[in-house]
Amino acid sequence: MGRPKALLPLGGSTFAGTLLAALAEAGYAPLLAVVRPLDAPVRLALESAGARVLENPDPGRGMLSSLLLAVEAAAADPAVVGLAVCPVDCPRVAARTLAALREALLAGRGEARALVPRHAGRRGHPALFPRGLFEALRLASPGVGAREVTRTALELEVDDPTVLDDFDRPGDLS
């Protein structure tokens, strides 16, 4: 994209700001965000949007290394019942979709399974991991990562095509 995705403009905000606002509106707390080292502009934007920022000292180890930082931070808070993994390149997911996933988690749907949204027969983002799956995430192989845990995820059908967003190239934004 030529610059950090978190700072890309979207609807009067940024990718990160839009996503964090939807999470907050849907009742998610605390809001955790994992960044690369020395990424001061991204850190500032995330903190300004209400996130607690965690720095991955070695992002070259892959996405799982960032996820595990969030797992450890979430696990340290006994009030946390689960963890939503929201890639910043899927920033437009609706607050109503996030709320439906959260409600399904709190209602015990999926119990010891992750929850993922599905739209038009395709899985999307974010994935929600109940606290009981934190250990499975810790034990996931680095080459497969969270996909190892989401293989048996409960799919929640949603009327929100934005769960399928994946902005990886400048042309994806049009």
pLDDT tens for 89-110 read 899 999 999 999 999 999 886 5
CATH class of 5-173: alpha beta
Structural domain boundaries in the chain? 5-173
**Confidence at residue 167, expressed as pLDDT on a 0 to 100 scale:** 78
**Confidence at residue 52, expressed as pLDDT on a 0 to 100 scale:** 95
**Confidence at residue 110, expressed as pLDDT on a 0 to 100 scale:** 58
Q: What is the rounded distance in angstroms from the CA atom of residue 55 to the CA atom of residue 28?
A: 20
The mean of the pLDDT values for the chain is: 90
Beta strands in the chain (DSSP E): 9-10, 13-14, 32-35, 52-55, 82-85, 115-119, 122-123, 127-130, 154-157
Rounded to an integer, the average pLDDT of 118-123 is: 95
Amino acid symbol at 13: S
- pTM score of the predicted model: 0.91
The model's confidence at residue 171, banded by pLDDT at 50, 70 and 90, is low
Q: Read off the pLDDT of residues 140-162 as tens digits, 9 standing for 90 and up.
A: 988 888 888 898 899 999 999 99
Beta-carbon contacts of 68 under 8 Å, excluding residues fewer than 6 positions away, are 137, 138
